[in-house]
């Protein structure tokens, strides 16, 4: 996994005055607005307006940009962020480290 230090700092700034768990849920809600199904165009426009007028819009954009950068190559920076800051290895999502040898080009040469 790539270094998520910048992502962690950005998230901590975003989460200021609320729990990490609440901030993470809110973050996901805002990021998923474009993918949600809306019954009417008015509902969709209201949801998009809510995101674009969010008081922490600039932080949301910075977080989304950093997450996009870290996601290249099938990485899961949100999962890692959740594992490190929200579940803290106690409950929730846990990752099993992938063996480096499995991805070694030497093992896949014919």
Instruction: Write the pLDDT tens digit of every residue in 50-109.
Output: 878 888 889 989 999 999 999 888 788 888 888 888 877 666 656 666 655 455 555 555
**Count of domains observed in the chain:** 1
Show the domain range for 31.
5-108
Q: Are 104 and 31 in contact (CB under 8 A)?
A: no
pLDDT score for 101: 45
Query: What single string gives the DSSP state of each residue in 7-48?
Result: HHHHHHHHHTTS-HHHHHHHHHHHHHGGGS--SSHHHHHHHH
- The whole-model pTM stands at 0.71
pLDDT score for 32: 86
User: Distance of alpha carbon 18 from its chain centroid, rounded?
Assistant: 17
């Amino acid at each position: 996994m790539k270094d998520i230090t910048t992502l962690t700092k950005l998230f901590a700034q975003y989460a200021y005055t609320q729990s990490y768990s609440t901030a993470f849920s809110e973050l996901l809600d805002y990021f998923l607005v474009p993918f949600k199904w809306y019954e009417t165009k008015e509902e969709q426009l209201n949801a998009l307006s809510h995101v674009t007028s969010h008081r922490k819009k600039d932080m949301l954009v910075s977080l989304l940009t950093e997450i996009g950068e870290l996601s290249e190559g099938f990485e899961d920076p949100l999962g890692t962020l959740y594992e490190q800051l929200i579940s803290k290895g106690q409950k929730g999502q846990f990752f099993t480290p992938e063996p480096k040898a499995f991805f070694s080009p030497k093992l896949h040469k014919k």
